[in-house]
Amino acid sequence: MAFYGEQVFPRVMNLLMNTKETRKTRARVCGALEGDVVEIGFGTGLNLPHLPPSVSRLRAVEPSELGVHLAQDRIAASPVLVQIAGLDGQSMPFQDNSADAVLSTWTLCTIPDAVAALREVGRVLRPGGTLHFVEHGAAPDAGVRKWQDRLNGIQQRVACGCNLNRDISSLIEAGGLTISRLDTYYSPGEPKPLGAAYEGVAKGA
């Protein structure tokens, strides 16, 4: 299983998470970023082409060495300074109040202690700083949520710890952030248990 998680899964996600729909979503989520940005769950750098010129630096937090390796061409092509700066979103090696914004795309589903990671987000954000996010999680419809609960164990094994049924809004609030904008929807082209999406912005303290 370690070989699958370390060598196979990052390659699979590099393909599956780079579709027409995910690129449209990434462009929306990244569009308002500016200044010094921290990204948790950098993956293979799929957000890099969507960072606006207003971003001066991206500090990337990513535990997968292969993911960072697969991102090298995107890093080289990016006009934004990219620093691979951390391995664990639950404990980031950054000073308090040091980031203008934090970016998270389809990441909170997998971090073991998502609330701890969100508290870290609040710690590193400057006063007035914002978390820009899109995540999949618990569906708004009870029938779909039942299927998510049934499938969650399989999903965790196949997708290396990913959870289908996390209430993203509640996690963000439990982490001490205040949601200022939230859109919930089913991602086009995906089965509803997999595609219940939360997209928005949250403010730090």
135 forms bridges with which residues in the sheet? Answer: 198
Strand pairing of 81-86 and 99-105? unpaired
pLDDT tens by residue, 14-23: 999 999 999 9
Determine the pLDDT at residue 205: 74
pLDDT tens by residue, 31-54: 999 999 999 999 999 999 999 999
Domains and CATH numbers, the chain: 2-203 (3.40.50.150)
For residue 202, the surrounding DSSP H or E stretch is strand 196-203
Q: Whole-angstrom Cα distance, residue 43 to residue 52?
A: 19
pLDDT at 1 over 70: no
Query: Can you say how many angstroms the Cα of residue 118 is from the centroid of all Cα atoms in its chain?
Result: 11
For residue 134, the surrounding DSSP H or E stretch is strand 125-136
pLDDT tens by residue, 182-204: 999 999 999 999 999 999 999 98
Q: Whole-angstrom Cα distance, residue 67 to residue 195?
A: 23
* Residue in 171, 161, 165, 160 with CA at minimum distance from that of residue 148: 165
